[in-house]
Amino acid sequence: VPKKYYEYLQSLNDRQREAACSDVTIPLMIVAGPGSGKTSTMVGRVLTLLKEEFPPSNILAMTFTTAAASEMRDRIGTVVGKAVAKEIVISTFHSFCLQLCRTHAEKLGRTSEFIIYGNGQQRRAVIEAERLLESDKNNGLGDANKNCDGDIKNSFKDKAKKWQKFVTQAKASGRTPEEYEKKGDLTGASILRHYNEILRSCNALDYHDFINSSITLLTKFPEVYDECRNTWQAIVVDEFQDTSAMQYYLLKTLASHNRVTIVGDEDQSIFSFNGADVSGFDSFRRDFPNHKEVRLSKNYRSTRAIVEAATALIHNNTKRQSHKLVETDNPSGNKIIVKECHSEDSQCAFVIDKIIETTSSSVEGCHFGKIAVLYRRQITGKAFQASFRNRKIPFNIHGVAFYRKKVIKAIMAILKTTLPGCDDDAPWHQAFKAILPGDKEEKKKITQGRKVLSALDSLSKLVEREQSVSVVISSAGDMLPQKYLLEKRAIVDADGGKLLNEDNDIRSVLQFLMDDVSDFLSTHFSSSVDTSKTEEKGCASTLKAFIDYISLRETENFRSRKEENKNSITLTTIHQSKGLEWDVVFIVQANDSEIPLLHEYNGTVKEAGSTLEEERRLFYVAMTRARKKLYILHVTLLQPSRFLREIPAHLLEVQGEGTVRRTPEQPVNIPFDQPEGDTSVERPMVVRNETSPFPEMDQPCLANDFLKRFEIEDRAIISHIFHQWAKKQA
Ligand code: ATP
Ligand code: MG
């Protein structure tokens, strides 16, 4: 037993230590608030398993993001050495299941080469399923779908969205077409059946399929079950509150040996749109009746001001499972600064000023890596990216924002077409060859090498030479035969869409992608896969594994943590920030209709209520990421977030924009970025609430109108693409 193990245990408090060292054969559940050391205790638990001589390769640790996984590996590595830490399988539910599905693909009616369908491809498959349903109906086979009437052009997007939501929900809850049939929902059953059939015939699985198919493998194939049970002798799960019902079922099946630890906080459950279900805690209590339950109550992360403010906020949620006691011995620290800004530009400017102020003062010793800017929606991050770039402030583009970049999509689509199995006639497709630089011999060398790095390198060199990614990508699009419909779409999307705007930073995007490649090569192959085997199988599997890796990054919402050490500001959505901490945190665009983001929900009151509670949890997660300093910013065009009114005034320092401060009598100035010629936007009258520095929501509609405007461009592109596609189909 390494000495460092005991040192690590010493760093825990009594209750944490007791939990970490408790009998590993008894299921353990740790429920506690943010910053209370749940993850730290879980690391201690893994160390205890190692001490008890569980082979590291038989321990499975489930984390929610890749960032959390690598963080955990590092922490374990410092105690037991990197070599041992590498052998532990630390994985997200999705990548764990993907691996299982690949290994047993033929049992699922796929080949191990199967493709992963992301959001875009899923939507296209849904549209196709809908088209098939229509043609069933025309042949007199289907039932009458009354919703299909009306102007198809206008209702198309809504319908596709609706059906995609339906398919996603069906899969998240594990329902089959037969179950819908039994309930009398013939249209639903038919869409689902067509959809599944399309995926099967395309040799594809979507993200929900990984989980559901893994359950199928475990429950219908005893040999798979035995293999898993022998392999995964102990399981630990972090962020348990965001486990979906299907994921829980999988966990329960895998953990029938009782050597299982779960840690979580129901107040931080923020993925219910993905099927996350806090009732998992109750299920665990029921399914593992001999479990031990531990509560931690001390926050080690944040100043007292932050802890008190966050606690006051979350008290407004009525549907909490338990009221956890949260206290801290930390100093009370600065008040939370609430800053009102006239425009998004001045919001960026304020953040940049503060960043420069903080990092240049030697007293605070704070570097870029200890600062994060958090926002509710990706689009908010874009303005910050641009300003940071202009001011040469280093930053990480985290998460989906990066992988949803059209140029990345296009590059990945091109790479996909080059996979063997995608095209049996010509495994290395013309399109790729056509855009590769060099003469025939050179092209051959690159394609035969089948190396991700060299393929991407060639692509980026070419892009650099042409000075434009659109030229490269559209030529690839032109070369692709019709059968690559979905890939073509991604390319057309990239080319016809907003790619030109993205051209400016194409080099940095490609650089990020290259970083991913080296990251991928080092983490992926040094741990679970034997390198010699990889060489045997040929590098095609490397490219495929890389595409998997990138596809998963898109769902797991996180880029590698690597750059973060490199002294860069983190720009991320609140969703992706969970489990992490920074010295200084800026929550930006904290406006009503942004957080809480309610414009999408026009459902029943009950729905709106539970949505509001989830949004509050989201704000709670955001606030509790900060260790020392928290800034909350909002812009004047929209109302400040109603959550600000739930924080006791004495914990806040409210700062106005300076010269043009609002008063109850004086209407707010509409900022200069009001769209030209648009007089429909009325000036909001702001009435101040006596006890709170924040005005009541008096014009919710204004915000909604404003938000809608953001999406017009997207909508135009989508409908353009659809019309082109429909024309070709005809
Ligand atoms: P979250 O709910 O946000 O995931 P958590 O409960 O997992 O938070 P950790 O990330 O494990 O909390 O810990 C938060 C911080 O507190 C970390 O910086 C950790 O090093 C520190 N910490 C945890 N336990 C202790 C302790 N006993 N003594 C001192 N510091 C601690
Ligand atoms: Mg944690």
- Cα 97 to ligand 2 centre (Å): 22
Residue-wise pLDDT for 75-94, tens only, equals 899 999 988 998 999 988 88
643 neighbors 616 (Cβ within 8 angstroms): yes
Q: What is the DSSP letter of 114?
A: P
Distance 641 CA to ligand 2 centre (A): 26
For residue 158, count other CB atoms closer than 10 A to its CB: 10
Percent of the chain at pLDDT exceeding 70 = 63
Q: Is 300 in the pocket of ligand 1 (CB under 6 A)?
A: yes
Q: Specify whether the CB–CB gap between 258 and 289 falls below 8 A.
A: no
pLDDT at 437: 59
pLDDT at residue 485 tops 90: no
pLDDT at 649 over 80: yes
Tell whether residue 728 is among the known ligand binding residues: no
Q: Which residue has the tokens 């003062």?
A: 361
Separation of 35 CA from ligand 2 center, angstroms? Answer: 7
335 is known to lie in a ligand binding site:
no
Q: Given the structure tokens 């033929």, which residue do they identify?
A: 106
Atom of ligand 1 nearest to the CA of 265: 2
User: Using a 6 Å cutoff on CB, does residue 38 contact ligand 1?
Assistant: yes
Strand 582-587 with 569-573, pairing: unpaired
From the CB of 264, is ligand 1 less than 6 Å away?
Answer: no
Token pair, residue 505, equals 């930073």
Query: For ligand 1, is residue 265 a contact (CB within 6 Å)?
Result: yes
Instruction: Confirm or reject: Cβ of 12 under 6 Å from ligand 1.
Output: yes
DSSP 8-state code for residue 321? S
pLDDT band at 683 (very low <50, low <70, confident <90, very high): very low
pLDDT of residue 52: 92
Model confidence pLDDT, tens digit, residues 288-344: 999 999 999 899 999 999 999 999 999 998 888 777 778 899 999 999 999 999 888
Nearest CA to ligand 1 atom 31: 300
Residue 682 has what pLDDT? 32
Q: pLDDT band for position 381 (50/70/90)? A: confident
* Best of 8, 41, 301, 624 for a ligand 1 pocket test (most atoms within 8 Å of beta carbon): 301
CA distance 533 to 518: 19
Phi, psi of 77 (to 5 degrees): -60, -40
Q: How far is the CA of 19 from the centre of ligand 1 (A)?
A: 14
DSSP H helices in 34-118? 38-51, 66-80, 82-87, 93-103
Q: Quote the CA–CA distance of 394 and 371 in Å, as a whole number.
A: 11
pLDDT at 261: 97
What confidence tens digit (pLDDT) does each residue in 562-617 have?
444 467 888 888 988 889 899 999 999 999 878 887 654 444 333 455 688 899 99
pLDDT score for 274: 73
Q: Which of 26-35, 340-349, 503-512 has the lowest mean pLDDT?
A: 503-512
Which of 12, 17, 40, 618 is the best mutation target for the ligand 1 pocket, counting ligand atoms within 8 Å of the beta carbon and taking the most? 40
The residue among 624 and 279 whose pLDDT is bigger is 624
Q: Could you say which ligand is closest to the alpha carbon of residue 238? A: 2
Token pair, residue 714, equals 């997207």
Q: DSSP assignment, residue 669?
A: P
Q: Is the dihedral of CA 24, 25, 26, 29 positive or negative?
A: positive
Query: How crowded is the C-beta side of 315, counted as CA atoms within 13 Å?
Result: 12
Is residue 37 annotated as involved in ligand binding?
A: yes
Q: Which helix (H) or strand (E) holds 152?
A: helix 152-172
Q: How far apart are the C-alpha atoms of 203 and 109, rounded to whole Å?
A: 8
**pLDDT score of 314:** 94
Relative to the alpha carbon of 38, which ligand is closest? 1
Whether the pLDDT of residue 187 is over 70: the answer is: yes
Read off the DSSP letter of residue 106.
Answer: G
- Determine which helix (DSSP H) or strand (DSSP E) holds 235, and give its type and residue range: strand 234-237
Arithmetic mean of pLDDT, 533-551: 59
Q: Is the CB of 75 under 6 A from ligand 1?
A: no
- Residue 675 confidence (pLDDT) above 60: no
This prediction has a pTM of 0.75
Please state the atom number of ligand 1 nearest to the C-alpha of residue 43: 11
Measured distance CA(369)–CA(562) in Å, rounded? 11
Residue 34 counted as an annotated binding residue: yes
pLDDT of residue 549: 74
Query: How far apart are alpha carbons 143 and 125 in whole angstroms?
Result: 21
pLDDT, residue 393, reads 86
Shortest-distance Cα residue to atom 8 of ligand 1: 35
How far away, in angstroms, is 621 Cα from ligand 2 center? 11
Residues 687, 695: contact at Cβ < 8 Å? yes
> Is-cis flag, bond preceding 596, omega within 30?
yes
Question: Is-contact 407 473, C-beta < 8 A?
Answer: yes
Which among 340, 348, 346, 434 has a CA at the least distance from the CA of 389? 348
> Residue written as tokens 């160390």?
47
d(CA 503, CA 510) in angstroms, rounded, equals 11
Q: Which of 17-31, 240-254, 350-364, 523-537 has the lowest mean pLDDT?
A: 523-537
Stronger pLDDT, 488 or 5, i.e. the higher one: 5
List Cβ neighbours of 129 (8 Å cut-off, separation of 6 or more): 163, 167, 191, 192, 194, 195, 198
Determine what percent of the chain is predicted with pLDDT higher than 90.
Answer: 36
* pLDDT at position 544 over 50: yes
Predicted local distance difference test score (pLDDT) of residue 416: 67
> Would you state the pLDDT for residue 252?
95
Q: Please say if the pLDDT value at position 144 is more than 50.
A: no
Cβ atoms < 10 Å from Cβ of 596: 22
CA of 69 to the centre of ligand 2 (A): 11
**42: CA distance to ligand 2 center in Å?**
9
Which segment of 173-182, 238-247, 273-282 scores lowest on mean pLDDT?
Answer: 273-282
Could you tell me the distance, in angstroms and rounded to a whole number, from the CA of residue 553 to the centre of ligand 1?
Answer: 25
Q: Please determine, for residue 100, whether its predicted confidence score (pLDDT) is greater than 90.
A: yes
Alpha-carbon distance of 421 to 417, in angstroms, equals: 9
Task: Give tens-digit pLDDT for 507-526.
Answer: 556 666 666 666 666 555 54
**pLDDT confidence of residue 204:** 86
Residue 38, annotated ligand binder?
Answer: yes
Section 687-706 average pLDDT:
36
Beta strand pairing status for 204-206 and 336-341?
unpaired
Q: Is 656 annotated as a binding residue?
A: no
**How is residue 128 written in tokens?**
């196709």
Q: Is the CB of 330 under 6 A from ligand 1?
A: no
Look up the ipTM and state it.
Answer: 0.99
What's the whole-number average pLDDT of the chain? 75
At residue 95, the pLDDT reads 83
Nearest to 48 by CA among 78, 6, 11: 6
- Alpha carbon of 564 to ligand 1 centroid (Å): 19
pLDDT digits (tens, 9 = 90+) for 632-642: 999 988 889 99
Confidence bin at 493 (pLDDT 50/70/90): low
Q: Going by CA atoms, what residue is nearest to atom 4 of ligand 1?
A: 579
Q: What is the mean pLDDT of residues 215-234?
A: 95
Average pLDDT over residues 33-54: 94
| pLDDT-derived band at 492, boundaries 50, 70, 90 | low
CB burial of 43-74 (b: ≥16 within 10 Å; e: otherwise) equals: bbbbbbbbbeebebbbbbbbbbbbbbbbbbbe
